[in-house]
Structure formats: structure tokens, C-alpha cells
């Protein structure tokens, strides 16, 4: 592969993707004997074992154009189940810092997703994976529903947040729609689990990393890995 420099056998069928390479490396700590299979362009990718199941943790970078490149290459190398573990800016009325969001679909406000939609792509999460993720989040404060995927991080303002919140949207982030759309075209199943690390207000998305959000990110990682493990045993 041109960008992630992996070959057949380097990538597991079950994949966790993260925008942040640091988070990808953190996911690898949950795996037994993780091996680094790519570091080119900072797109860190590790493959190891979680509870007897081979799992890959891979970096998409920020935004849908970068994510689209990585997802195309992961799909070509055999990815079958993909869960994005990431962060998001909350806009829903009851959404607070440290909450976890499991998207059912992503409203595509970005350009890359629209290109895939023109080819028949659908920006909808896999229903079974959503259901299993929710089960693995029991005891955690979480929300299930639509989100928006945007090309911009600082441009959205309070007026945008109020409009989309009135439509039932829970948060804004930057990769899910294209991950879902490519999955619908290339044959992998996809979902996401996102930690709210900021609230959109004023002139942008104010990110407030706290111990609470760090705990939620770790819980999201565990939920994603447990979901991938369960799918291994599904008929």
C-alpha cells in the first residue's frame, strides 16, 4: 500500500481506527505482543492479539480526506470490521464532557463523503455493531444517535450547533461519515465510539481534556475491543 506501507497479512480483519497516532499507540497497549506494521507518514499501525483474536489498531489522521485514503487501503488489505475510537464536540442538549456517543449515522458536511455518496455510499453505522457497543458501555453515561462529520474544527459556531441540535444531532467530528460510506462500498462493517472532549459554543469548539474524558476514552477503547471480540464468535 502506498500510504500505510502494509501488505497482506499485516492487517487483521478486525480493526480499531483512531485519528490521533498517540491514541492508536495507546490502543496497542491493550493487545498482546503488538507489532508495528507501519509508521510511514505518522500513520502508526499495530497488529496484535486481544483475547485470542487478532486486532489491528491504525491511524487515519485528521479529517475525511486522510481517513478515506487509510480506509481504502485497510479495506484492500482485508479489513472486515472497523470501529473508530475518537473524540467529538458535543452539541446535544444533554451531552456533557466525558459522555460517550455511539453514532447511528453521520450527516456528511464534508467533501470526501459526498464523493463516495455519489458512488452509492451510505453514511450509516452497522446496526449490530452499534447494539453490541452499547451493551459494552453499560454503566457508562452514553448517547446513541446521529452526528455530523465536518471538514472544519474551528469554524462551527453556536448558531450551527443550535441548528443541528434541533435536528437531533448529538455532536460534530471529522471522520465517521467517510469511514461508514467506504465500508458500505468496499464490504467492511463499521461503527464508532466517541468521547465528548469539548462543547461547541462561541467561535469554535473549545476542547477541554480532563481526567474524566481520559477515563471515558479508555472505556471506549475497551468497548470497541470487546465488540470486535464478540463479532469473532457471531455466526
- Residues 59, 63, 64: CA angle, nearest 5 degrees: 95
Position 184 in a domain: yes
Output 159 or 76, whichever has higher pLDDT.
76
How many angstroms separate the CA atoms of 60 and 101, rounded? 19
How many angstroms separate the CA atoms of 214 and 78, rounded? 31
CB 129 within 8 A of CB 226: no
Percentage of the chain exceeding pLDDT 70? 94
- Residues 174, 73, 219: CA angle, nearest 5 degrees: 50
The average pLDDT across 24-35 equals: 97
Residue 6 has pLDDT above 80, yes or no: yes
pTM score, whole prediction: 0.94
> How many domains are there within the chain?
1
The average pLDDT across 52-72 equals: 97
Residue 234 has pLDDT above 80, yes or no: no
Residue 152 has pLDDT above 80, yes or no: yes
Q: How many CB atoms lie within 10 A of CB 118?
A: 8
Position 58 in a domain: yes
Percentage of the chain exceeding pLDDT 90? 83
What per-residue confidence (pLDDT) applies to 207?
59
Q: What is the CATH number of the domain that holds 116?
A: 3.40.50.1580
How many angstroms separate the CA atoms of 56 and 74, rounded? 10
Residue 165 has pLDDT above 90, yes or no: yes
Position 211 in a domain: yes
Structural domain containing residue 42: 14-232
pLDDT in tens, 187-223: 999 999 999 998 876 554 555 666 778 899 999 999 9
Position 72 in a domain: yes
Residue 232 has pLDDT above 70, yes or no: no
User: What does pLDDT average to over the chain?
Assistant: 93
pLDDT in tens, 69-115: 999 999 999 999 999 999 999 998 899 999 999 999 999 999 999 99
Residue 235 has pLDDT above 50, yes or no: no
Q: E strands, 60-117, where?
A: 81-90, 100-108
CB 38 within 8 A of CB 109: no
Position 6 in a domain: no
Q: Which three cell numbers stand for residue 164?
A: 443541528
Position 42 in a domain: yes
Position 4 in a domain: no
Position 9 in a domain: no
Residue 122 has pLDDT above 70, yes or no: yes
Phi, psi (deg, nearest 5) at residue 226: -65, -35
138, 135, 220, 188 alpha-carbon torsion, rounded to 10°: -170
Amino acid at each position: 500500500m502506498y500510504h500505510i506501507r502494509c501488505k497482506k497479512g499485516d492487517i487483521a480483519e478486525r480493526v480499531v481506527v483512531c485519528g490521533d497516532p498517540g491514541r492508536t499507540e495507546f490502543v496497542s497497549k491493550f493487545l498482546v505482543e503488538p507489532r508495528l506494521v507501519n509508521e510511514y507518514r505518522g500513520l502508526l499501525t499495530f497488529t496484535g492479539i486481544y483475547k485470542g483474536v487478532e486486532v489491528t489498531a491504525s491511524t487515519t489522521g485528521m479529517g475525511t480526506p486522510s481517513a478515506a485514503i487509510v480506509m481504502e487501503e485497510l479495506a484492500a488489505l482485508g479489513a472486515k470490521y472497523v470501529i473508530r475510537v475518537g473524540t467529538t464536540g458535543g452539541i446535544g442538549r444533554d451531552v456533557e464532557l466525558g459522555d460517550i456517543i455511539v453514532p447511528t449515522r453521520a450527516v456528511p458536511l464534508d467533501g470526501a463523503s459526498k464523493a463516495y455518496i455519489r458512488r452509492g455510499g451510505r453514511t450509516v453505522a452497522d446496526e449490530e455493531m452499534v447494539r453490541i457497543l452499547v451493551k459494552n458501555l453499560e454503566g457508562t453515561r452514553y448517547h446513541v444517535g446521529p452526528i455530523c462529520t465536518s471538514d472544519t474544527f474551528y469554524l462551527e459556531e453556536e448558531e450551527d450547533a443550535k441548528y443541528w441540535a434541533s435536528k437531533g444531532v448529538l455532536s460534530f467530528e471529522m471522520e465517521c461519515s467517510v469511514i461508514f460510506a467506504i465500508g458500505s462500498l468496499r464490504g467492511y462493517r463499521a461503527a464508532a465510539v466517541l468521547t465528548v472532549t469539548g462543547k461547541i459554543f462561541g467561535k469554535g469548539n473549545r476542547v477541554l481534556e480532563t481526567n474524566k474524558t481520559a477515563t471515558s476514552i479508555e472505556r471506549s477503547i475497551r468497548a470497541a475491543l470487546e465488540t470486535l471480540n464478540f463479532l469473532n464468535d457471531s455466526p
